[in-house]
Amino acid sequence: NAGVTQTPKFQVLKTGQSMTLQCAQDMNHEYMSWYRQDPGMGLRLIHYSVGAGITDQGEVPNGYNVSRSTTEDFPLRLLSAAPSQTSVYFCASSYLQSSYEQYFGPGTRLTVT
């Protein structure tokens, strides 16, 4: 079991560029989510999904898109990167009936210049 994997680990973008952060899990979890972590602000939910084909917005969704075509994958897209999106991004997954017990990936550190 690889658990939750995220790629890349580090990324530097210029303002206005687009990119996709990849997230995959091999635990057959229904629930997947994306958080951003910023100093002094804890983790804030960006988007989440309760199953393939179903996504919803979290606390800070602006500037980010998601889709869930398979149970395993939940990519996060930045369409036009801004310096305010400089952050560490974590993907997490869980069984829907125990969505509190989320398994986290190792994170992607993104810098937008």
Partner 1 sequence: AQSVTQPDIHITVSEGASLELRCNYSYGATPYLFWYVQSPGQGLQLLLKYFSGDTLVQGIKGFEAEFKRSQSSFNLRKPSVHWSDAAEYFCASNFGNEKLTFGTGTRLTIIP
Contacting residues toward partner 1, per CB under 8 A = 4, 31, 33, 35, 40-45, 48, 50, 58, 90, 92, 96, 99-107
Residue 40: CB minimum distance to partner 1, A: 6
CB of 76 to partner 1, least distance (A): 15
Residue placing its CB nearer to partner 1 in the complex, 44 or 77: 44
Q: Give the C-alpha separation, 90 to 108, whole Å.
A: 7
Judge residue 100's burial from the number of C-beta atoms within 10 Å of its C-beta, 0-12 exposed, 13-18 middle, 19 or more buried: exposed
Which residue lies nearer to partner 1 by CB, 17 or 27?
A: 27
Instruction: Give the nearest distance from C-beta 9 to partner 1 in angstroms.
Output: 10
Taking the least distance from each CB to partner 1, the nearer of 16 and 106 is 106
- Strand pairing of 31-38 and 42-51? antiparallel
CB of 99 to partner 1, least distance (A): 4
* Alpha-carbon gap, residue 59 to 90, rounded angstroms: 14
